[in-house]
């Protein structure tokens, strides 16, 4: 199933085609080259003063690290994310300055776009135990967990329980282009 963005003008297919499925093929594992490509894409994001505050911990299904990261997800995310081939913990080096979280988000956007190019799907999750992740993986002081990204292959035939099955089918919605524009003051 695809849910391309409805736009007034055509967008790049990677942008229009990206969405956040929960139906992962649990038999699939991203290749090492694909995972490297995701990190390369993230690495080349812009950042304030080139501080590059993003940090990634890549876990693959079948490893203790993956199981531990999975167990730190919020209950709703554990309903489906365990079928992803990889779970990536994304953190930001808060010592890098005021833009650390902003820059890390840009790196994740790059990573997600590259995932699309690789024929993979990505689903970002803010719902997880941040202190638990920092402790389990021994993150350095000031390196703050931001999101976990589930990466894998889409399987539209997966049966999800509610409310996730409904959300998988629901149209994607956005504010309009007009609504996201601020009025210029005189």
Ligand X SMILES: Cc1cc2nc3c(=O)[nH]c(=O)nc-3n(C[C@H](O)[C@H](O)[C@H](O)COP(=O)(O)O)c2cc1C
Residues of this chain that interact with ligand X (CB under 6 A) are 19-20, 77, 124-127, 147, 172
> Which is closer to ligand X, CB of 83 or CB of 147?
147
Give the nearest distance from C-beta 65 to ligand X in angstroms.
20
Plot region of 148 (φ>0 → left; ψ -120 to 50 → alpha; else → beta): beta
**Positive or negative: CA dihedral 111, 113, 118, 123:** positive
Q: What is the largest CA-CA distance in the chain?
A: 59
Looking at beta carbons only, is 135 or 170 nearer to ligand X?
Answer: 170
Alpha carbons 103 and 33: distance in angstroms, whole number:
24
Q: Which is nearer to ligand X, 7 or 36 (CB)?
A: 7
Nearer to ligand X, 48 or 125 (CB): 125
Residue 5 Cβ, how far from ligand X at the closest point, in Å?
8
C-alpha to C-alpha distance for 122 and 18, rounded to whole angstroms: 8
CB 115 within 8 A of CB 151: yes
Minimum CB separation of residue 172 from ligand X in Å reads: 5
How many Å from the N-terminal Cα to the C-terminal Cα in the chain? 46
Minimum Å gap between C-beta 186 and ligand X is: 35
| Residue 43 or 167 having the CB closest to ligand X | 167
- Shortest Cβ contact with ligand X: which residue? 127
Nearest residue to 149 (alpha-carbon basis) of 114, 174, 178: 114
Answer yes or no: are the C-beta atoms of 81 and 150 closer than 8 Å. Answer: yes
Going along 97-157, which residue ranges are E strands?
A: 121-125, 143-152
Smallest distance from ligand X to CB 33, Å: 25
| 19 versus 137: smaller Cβ distance to ligand X | 19
Shortest distance, position 83 Cβ to ligand X, whole Å: 13
């Amino acid at each position: 199933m695809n849910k391309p963005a409805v736009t007034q003008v055509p967008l790049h297919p990677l942008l229009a085609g990206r969405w956040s499925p929960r139906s992962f093929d649990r038999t699939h594992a991203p290749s090492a080259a694909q995972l490297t490509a995701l990190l390369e894409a993230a690495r080349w994001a812009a950042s304030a003063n080139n501080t590059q505050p993003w940090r990634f911990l890549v876990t693959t299904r079948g490893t203790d690290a993956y199981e531990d990261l999975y167990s730190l997800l919020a209950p709703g995310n554990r309903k489906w994310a365990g079928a992803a081939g990889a779970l990536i913990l994304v953190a930001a080096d808060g010592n890098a300055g005021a833009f650390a979280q902003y820059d890390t988000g840009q790196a994740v956007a790059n990573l997600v776009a590259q995932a699309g190019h690789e024929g993979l799907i990505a689903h970002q999750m803010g719902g997880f135990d941040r202190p638990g992740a920092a402790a389990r993986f021994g993150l350095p002081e000031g390196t703050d967990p931001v999101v976990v990204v589930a990466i894998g292959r889409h399987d539209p035939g997966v049966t999800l329980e509610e409310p996730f099955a409904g959300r998988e089918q629901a149209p994607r919605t956005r504010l309009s282009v007009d609504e996201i524009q601020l009025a210029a003051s005189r």
